[in-house]
Amino acid sequence: MPTNLTAFDDNNHIDWHSNEKLIEWYIANGADALFAVCQSSEMQYLSLTERVALAKFTVKTVNGRIPVVASGHISDDLDDQIDELNAMSDTGIDALIMVSNRLDKDNTGEAAFRHNFDKILPQLNADIPLGFYECPAPFRRLLSDDEFKRCIDSNRFVTIKDVSCDLKQIKRRLSLAQGSPLAVLNANAAWAWPAMCAGAPGFCGISNNYHPDLYAWLLKNAAQYPTASAERQQLADELAVFLSLAALTEAYGYPSFAKLYHQRLGHFKSIHTRVNKFVLKEKFWAIDAVIDDLIAGNQSFREKIRDLEAR
């Protein structure tokens, strides 16, 4: 499940044509669902009107081909949160994603979370499935086991974007969620393959902006890995290492780096972002060479996968 970027033009307006190209690329390259209006979408820098418009546009463009989930949950005031969540729930999305740190904005602990959880849920559209996103901005606020169980017991939650970056915690959550509708999607590329092998039903990290098809291939092979041929196991292991190292490009001015990548692919006209205030190629030298290597690595593994599957 890719975390959607938002394309802007050089005048800081949403570039709808480029966003349409990006959505089509996601779908053509193995996305099973889209996370529209999230941190990668620069949701903290979008007005409520823009957040709602982006969700509606994504739903319209996807046209039922895969599920679309969205958040846009950024406000401090609880009443404002309820308003923005209900506005997002009316866009046609398949699930509404809440942000964990918004229910405990001062990071005081479980009592504040429980109070706000119990106040918000009854005021949301009762027909829409819910999810949680442990968004690292403005701070990472992980769900406790009790809070995680509270989501399961509500019978309303279908997904959590896990940002624990801890394989033991991911496995524990997979065990807690067993038999429930709650899908635990790891967001950390270093743990993507081990989490899949442990039973995680997918990956929801920013690296899906570069190679969602390669993660999709890993996911398809996770269950059969223990009994797969030595050649297939080796390719999966080598690919997992490549994907883990490729994810380090997040340090190179994300989301600007990802936008430059998609400009190179012909999807974005501009790499303008509201998040980064620097000029990407002035701050990070030889950035085009890094993208060259990323594209070459993607192509190399795609060819290896085609060769293996053709046998």
- Is 3 among the domain residues? no
Residue 227: which CATH number? 3.20.20.70
Domain for residue 43, yes or no?
A: yes
Query: Looking at residue 311, what is its pLDDT?
Result: 87
Domain annotation covers residue 296: yes
Question: Is the distance from CB of 193 to CB of 216 less than 8 angstroms?
Answer: no
Neighbours of 235 (CB within 10 A): 20
Domain count, the chain: 1
Q: Three-state SS string across 242-278, please?
A: HHHHHHHHHHCCCCHHHHHHHHHCCCCCCCCCCCCCC
Is 8 part of any domain? no
φ, ψ at 208 (rounded to 5°):
-65, -10
pLDDT tens sequence across 150-185: 999 999 999 999 999 999 999 999 999 999 999 999
Structural domain includes residue 9: no
Query: What's the whole-model pTM score?
Result: 0.96
Residue 5 lies in a domain: no
- Residue 61 phi, psi dihedral angles, 5° rounding: -70, -40
- All residues at 6 or more sequence positions from 150 whose CB lies less than 8 Å from its CB, including other chains: 114, 117
Q: For residue 270, tell me if it sits in a domain.
A: yes
Contacting residues for 166 by C-beta, under 8 A, at least 6 apart: 191
Domain extent at residue 268: 16-310
pLDDT of the residue at 19: 98
Low-confidence spans in the chain with pLDDT less than 70: none
- DSSP type of residue 143: P
197-230 pLDDT tens trace? 999 999 999 999 999 999 999 999 999 999 999 9
